[in-house]
Each structure stands twice: as structure tokens, then as C-alpha cells.
Amino acid sequence: MVKELNIPSRILMGPGPSDVDPRVLKAMATPMIGHMDPKFMTVMDEVMQLLRYVFQTENELTVAMSGTGSAGMETVFVNLLDPGDQVIVGVNGLFGERMVDVAERCGAEVIQIHANWGDVFTQEQIETALKNNPDVKFVALVHAETSTGALQPLEGLADIVHAHDALLILDAVTSLGGSPIKIDEMKVDACYSGTQKCLSAPPGLAPVTFSKRTLDVMENKKNKVQSWYLDLSMIRDYWGSERAYHHTAPISMNYALHESLRIIKEEGLENAFERHERLGKALHAGLEEMGLELHVDEKYRLPQLTAVRVPEGVNEAEVRQELLNNYSIEVGAGLGALKGKIWRIGLMGCSCKETNVVTLLGALEQILKDKGAKIRLGVAIEAATKVMFHKKVNE
């Protein structure tokens, strides 16, 4: 007999999924209804409305695609790119690499620009690539590179891209809801995200948003969208006023997203950004006070995902296992070029709370001490606490 599932309760402090509020889990137990039920149409309308709030956009085409963040990535590329189109892709981590792969599968001519894993792109670098490739139609960048913990500055970027008659595509899988991303103000043309990071819903939906400029591109696309499932010309008819059946929407996932977005709205986006910023800085302070090195320069450090270098002589996998087995804390391993060299500690959405910072620092200190790592003992939590409650103390 296969037994009933017996899943332990974890503290999710990896690169996602993040902890899910009990209200979201409860929403998933809401009765099943049909994907064409008028009540579900209301759910969809409200999901669109709330997504516009978190994306900070008026874009009409703002929907939750069925699938994880990678489906969001594919949605953007398959709907905008024609074979032979030139696209500049910024590669400074694993997800830039994935964008290259997806764009190439669309038959695009991909021009890669590179930065070290952990660095970001300068405006000059992007402008030079545009000048050298005058036929480029799109520039695609990762806003929050989850594989390295770096946050790409966006100020002024879209103006440069637009001045060269190209459009800006942005991966906001890890930034949406955690770091300021103002689609309209920053003039981002197409953006995709995922539900399991700072939105704190389970994985399974990919919010996407498209500017008016991209609608023209879609209308004038020479070739049929290569993916039937992700073809927005049909998906729009389901999410829009036509309500035409396309595929059976994942009903419970939409309930979950609806509730998680309501929670963000209740907190207020600005407050959510402040919480991520403050607790991210607190974690950074604690780790550094302990004597650990952070992988990303302070200027570009993501608050919601911190890459910490593994101290010499320490087996990184053993530390992760002990965190999981003894403390039920999940943190992430390094990927690609950073495999074995870093841990990735997430403070995303509901996981981004004071008690998690303290618990992680205490547990990590104890494990590293037992392993004989050269760290300073008894100082990390105090350093983090000072940053965490600094604002409140001064209020």
C-alpha cells in the first residue's frame, strides 16, 4: 500500500519556492468550478487587476500563463520573435543562458553580451551592443538573477533600447513583489514572472505583461507562433471579453495566486519592498559579521536572494543537508559556474521575516562551528538585529 503523504513543514529559504501563507493554502481548497464558470471569470478578472497592481502597469495584456516561470519566458519569446530576428541577450547567470536557448529555439539570431556571474550590465555595454548591431529588435535582460544574487539596474535602460528601435524584455521571476519594478514608468515592453518567489504562491503560474508596442509586433508577426499552448492571440480571447475556451485553466492555482496577490495588496507594495530590503540587508550584515564573504558587490546585491561564498575546507552540500535535516531549513546550492562555491539564501515573500533571519544565522553558525570553519561566533544575530529593527527603533 502506498501510504498517505507525510511531508514535513520546512522553512523555505532557498531560491524558491518560498513559504506560502496559510490563507493561500486555504484558498486552494476552495471548491472546484469549471474554467468557463462565470464565477471563475470573476477570479480571472481580479487576478488580472491585481497583477497590474504588482507589475505597476496599465497594460491590458497582463495575464497569468499556465506553467512556471519558464513558461512565462517562452511566452514572451515565442509571441514576439520571428525566425531571423536579432535579439541581444544579457548573460550573467543561468537564466540569461536559458533565454539564449529559448530565443535560439525560436530561430532568432542571438547576440550574447556577457558579464561575470554576480556582476550586472552597464548602460554603455548595452548601448555598444545596440550600436554594433543596428538591426536588433529586442534586448532581453534578467532583472534579478537568481543564480547569482545580482540585481540589474534598470534606470534609463529602456530609453537607450528604444532609441535604437528595439524593445526591452525583462525577466522578473525573482524581482516581482520583492524589488521595485515599475513596468510603465521604466518603459519595459514585455515582462514575465513566476508565482513561487516573492509572490509567495505555489509554483504553477507565470504572470506576464505586454506593452502596446509589443502588441503591434505580435500583430505584424510574419510566422505563426510556434507554440500552440502559449499563443497569446488565443489566450487573450480566453482572458479577455470573448471568453473563448483555449485550455482548461488550472483553477486552484488561480485561487492561490488571487489570494497571494490580495495579501500583497493588503501589505502594500512599497511596504513589501521595504521589508525585503531591510531584512536582506540584515541577513547580509549578519553573514558578514560572522566572517563569511558575499558573492555580489553591495551595490547590486539582491535583498531576496543572497549568494554566500562557502568558506575554505567546508563541504557545501553537507551544510545544506544539515540545515535541512536538523533545522528543516532549505537553502539553495550554487548553479553552473558557481556550483559548489556558494549557497543561495532566499528571503522571498512570506519567507522574508525577522524570525527566519535569526533562525538561519543561528543554525548556520552552529553548523559551521561544528565543522571547524573559521568564523566569528556570537556576533551575527546581533549585527542582523541592529539592521532589522533599526528603523523601528528610530520611529
Ligand X SMILES: Cc1ncc(COP(=O)(O)O)c(C=O)c1O
> Which positions lie near ligand X, rule CB under 6 A?
15-16, 68-70, 73, 95, 142, 146, 171, 173-174, 194, 203
Alpha carbon of residue 391 to chain centroid: 27
Taking the least distance from each CB to ligand X, the nearer of 18 and 174 is 174
Give least dist CB 93 to ligand X, A: 8
Taking the least distance from each CB to ligand X, the nearer of 154 and 384 is 154
Give least dist CB 40 to ligand X, A: 23
Residues in CB range of 19: below 8 A, 6 or more apart? 11, 12, 200, 349, 350, 351
Give least dist CB 38 to ligand X, A: 30
Residues in CB range of 144: below 8 A, 6 or more apart? 150, 151, 152, 171, 172, 173, 174, 175, 178, 179, 302, 304, 305
The region, left, alpha or beta by phi > 0 then psi within -120 to 50, assigned to residue 246 is alpha
Give least dist CB 3 to ligand X, A: 29
| Alpha helices (H) in 240-394, listed in sequence order | 251-267, 269-290, 316-327, 354-370, 380-388, 390-394
Give least dist CB 34 to ligand X, A: 27
State the DSSP string of 18-54.
PP--HHHHHHHTSPP--TT-HHHHHHHHHHHHHHHHH
Pairing of strands 11-12, 305-309: unpaired
Give least dist CB 221 to ligand X, A: 24
Which grid coordinates are listed for 96? 540569461
Handedness of CA 334, 338, 342, 346 (dihedral sign): negative
Contact 156, 330 (CB under 8 A): no
Residue with nearest beta carbon to ligand X: 69
Taking the least distance from each CB to ligand X, the nearer of 40 and 77 is 77
Give least dist CB 313 to ligand X, A: 29
What is the Cα–Cα distance from 73 to 16, expressed in whole angstroms? 17
Taking the least distance from each CB to ligand X, the nearer of 235 and 363 is 235
Amino acid at 25: L
